Structures are given as C-alpha cells and as structure tokens.
Structure 1
C-alpha cells in the first residue's frame, strides 16, 4: 500500500512527534480503493528554522519515488513541535476535486 510506504518514509526521515497520512483519493474522480491523492501532516523539529518551501522540498525528496510513480496530488502541512501546539486544530481541509465527474 502506498499509504504505508509514505508513513514509513516520513517516520524514518523526520522522526515526527505527530504524523498523519490521509488518503484523500475518494474525493477525486478515481476508481474506488485508489491511492493517488494524499494529505500529510508532519510535526518534527527537523523543520526548526526552515521556511515553508524548504520544508516542502524535504518532504518531496523523501517521497521522490512515490511522487514520480504513484502520487498524483500531495497536500503538505509541516510544523515544528512549538508551531503544532498552536496550530493543531487549524490544519486546513483539502479542496474538493474540480475535475472529472465527481
């Protein structure tokens, strides 16, 4: 399962305090059971002192194979532990799919 691979790679790379990998494929025009659209919430002090773009690049590097071969869309939300204490209830919802028949 792609979701398990994502979870494993992010856990091993960032040693997060909190990690949530959400398969949002059901929100898109894909066959049932697809694993192509994900939202990741990663809380790690590895992000301390890094701008948002640098954090996203780190996630993209960690998931390079999956992004190249399996993942169509990835919503990334990264926080340090101190940011997470403030933001934990403020993670934005992903938008509904605008394409296809759904």
Structure 2
C-alpha cells in the first residue's frame, strides 16, 4: 500500500512576516507587500520571488516612539528572516491616529 498523504507546503514568507508582526505588535492595520518582482535580476534577488518587502504597520506600541525606535521593533520581530531570507525591507510604521 502506498501512502498518498501529501506534506503541506511551507507558508509563504509573506504569511510568516504577517504572523510575526501580528504577534509582536498587535497592529490595528497591517499590509505586507511583496516587491520582489520589481527587483528581479538585481543584486539581492535570490530567485525565490520573496526577497524584497514593504510593510505598512499601525500599532499602539508605536505611540510616543521615534521613527527609528519603531523600525527597531519591526526589525526585531523579523531579525532571523532579515539575516537569512529578506534582502530588503521598507517600513512605514505609525501609531493610531497619525
């Protein structure tokens, strides 16, 4: 008898980014945009189609923080991915009401 069970595909990087930022920042708004197609063939394109990203995130955690401090929170949530799978990350981080 042959086992026909399939192994589920690993989540796309965008799903991982979304889950990490949701857990770390409890955002009231979150957009995760794959910009990799704009960089195909350029330096940093690893051929996966998941190397360049933009995140737009609104979170109460950002209230009273500088732009740099906000970006550090995002980078901290994604640190291992930035070291291995993300070549470029554009961040737009704001607090509610901004």
TM range (shorter): 0.7 to 0.9
The answer to whether 1:14 aligns with 2:25 is: yes
- Give 2:92's aligned residue: 77
SS of match in other structure, 1:82: coil
2: CA distance between counterparts of 1:37 and 1:54? 22
CA RMSD of aligned residues (A): 1.3
Find the aligned partners of 1:24 and 1:43 in 2 and give their Cα distance. Answer: 20
Normalized per residue, which structure has more helix? Answer: 1
Write the deviation string for residues 12-56 of structure 1: whole angstroms up to 9, x where unpaired.
111111000000000002476510000000000100000000000
Q: Could you tell me how far apart the structure 2 residues matched to 1:67 and 1:27 are?
A: 19
Larger Rg: 2
CA distance in 2, matches of 1:4, 1:35: 11
Name the residue aligned to 2:66.
51
- Output the TM-score relative to the length of structure 1: 0.77
Question: What is aligned with 2:36?
Answer: 25
Q: Which runs of 5+ in 1 are unaligned?
A: 84-102
TM-score, scaled relative to structure 2: 0.80
Aligned residues: 83
Aligned to 1:92: none
